[in-house]
Amino acid sequence: MLYFPFDERYSLSMGTIPLQPTDPLVEADAHYAAEVAHKQQLLLANHGYYYRANPETALAQWEVLEKVLKSLAAFYPTQFELNINGRNWQWHNRLTNESQSFEFENAASLPLQPLDWVGRQVQEDLLILANDPAVTLVAGQLCFPNDWDLNQKFEQPFLQIHHHIPKVFTPTMQAAQKLMERLVSHRPVWRLNWNFKIHNALDMSSQYFAESRRELAEIGPQLTPSNVGERLYLRVERQTLSRLPRSNYILFGIHTYQNTVANEAQNPDRARRMYQVLKSIPREVMQYKAIPFFEEALLAYLQQRGDFLN
């Protein structure tokens, strides 16, 4: 996997770093076609569960559309093409064989709301937070969440959204709140978040939480050092935060990547770092991430594969 979130030891810091002009805001990889098709199906089946937006987000939605399309066209010019002629925009998506002409900032010229339309052009989930002091979640197309959904978190402030996470994160989240308040439009940032999962389903929305916990309780005890590498997936979220210059709202993008632990652990340095990070995590974070279900097997497996000599 391109992104590997483990350093030498676990850290409670925010882990945000500047997104450089050479870094794409959104990424299109080998899973593009399958993942955008999957999004279409989810949105068709249960639109209100995966997409919500307050009317006040109209301008911010156009800003998101502009940022996302310009980034795709700039970083993947053979796959995507954007022609701008004043207010008349033309979009060609060669990966899905789709073309769309529209008038920028004219809602009637697009078949869907701008956020709902542009979200279907990318693998990322796209969320919009307001420019109020509490930084409230006011819109989102969220198809591939890890144990949450829009119904749970819609119209909640940033700190409230994180209220349920372990208390050791309190200073981290206070720093993150400041970062959100001070984010400036020409300095986007990004960070990685990670989890270990027994499934590689991208849609892990909270409707599946109870079922997947039951499954984990059942399968966890069956995991041993000889099968845990193939059975467990490392799920990594590449998260970006960008200020939208006109509305002053914030775009939060999440691209979910997954790989089996076995594939990651083929690299002995990665195996060692996973081991060391797991060994240094506060207990309540281990519990929150549901690692104790397979902790022993995973640690033994990583210990066998890690290069601990350097």
Determine, following the binding rule CB under 6 A, whether residue 148 of this chain makes contact with ligand HEM.
Answer: yes
**Shortest distance in whole angstroms from residue 81 CB to ligand HEM:** 31
Q: How far is CA 189 from CA 28, 179, 185, 194, 276, in A?
A: 19, 10, 10, 17, 26
Gyration radius from the chain CA atoms: 20
Residue keyed to tokens 């400036």: 184
Distance CA 232, CA 294 (A): 9
The C-alpha atoms of residue 249 and residue 155 are separated, in whole angstroms, by: 14
Q: Which of positions 111-140 make contact with ligand HEM (CB under 6 A)?
A: 127, 129, 137
Q: Which residues 6+ apart lie within 8 Å of 152 measured at CB?
A: 206
In angstroms, what CA-CA distances link 163 with 55, 86, 170, 255? 26, 45, 9, 23
Smaller CB separation from ligand HEM, 75 or 288: 288
281 binds ligand HEM per the rule CB under 6 A: no
**x/- letters, 15..54, toward ligand HEM (CB under 6 A):** -x--------------------------------------
- Per CB under 6 A, contacts with ligand HEM among 79-108 are none
Applying CB under 6 A, which part among 3-11, 33-41, 104-112, 147-155 lies near ligand HEM?
147-155
User: Which lies closer to ligand HEM via its Cβ, residue 144 or residue 301?
Assistant: 144
- Candidate list 252, 257, 275, 294; residue touching ligand HEM; CB under 6 A: 252
Query: DSSP of 145-167, one letter per residue?
Result: -BS--HHHHTT-BHHHHTTTS-G
Interface region with ligand HEM, contact rule CB under 6 A, candidates 89-97, 188-196, 201-209, 223-231: 188-196
Cα 261 to Cα 271: distance, rounded to the nearest angstrom: 9
User: Does residue 153 interact with ligand HEM by CB under 6 A?
Assistant: yes
How many residues bind ligand HEM (CB under 6 A)? The answer is: 21
**Is position 147 an interface residue for ligand HEM (rule: CB under 6 A)?**
yes
176 binds ligand HEM (CB under 6 A): yes
Distances in Å between the Cα of 211 and the Cα atoms of 167, 176, 206, 207, 215 are 26, 32, 10, 8, 6
What are the Cα distances from residue 39, in Å, to 144, 155, 257?
8, 23, 15
Q: Which is nearer to ligand HEM, 172 or 212 (CB)?
A: 172
Where along the sequence are the contacts to ligand HEM (CB under 6 A)? 14, 16, 127, 129, 137, 146-148, 153, 161-162, 165, 169, 172, 176, 179, 191, 193, 195, 252, 289
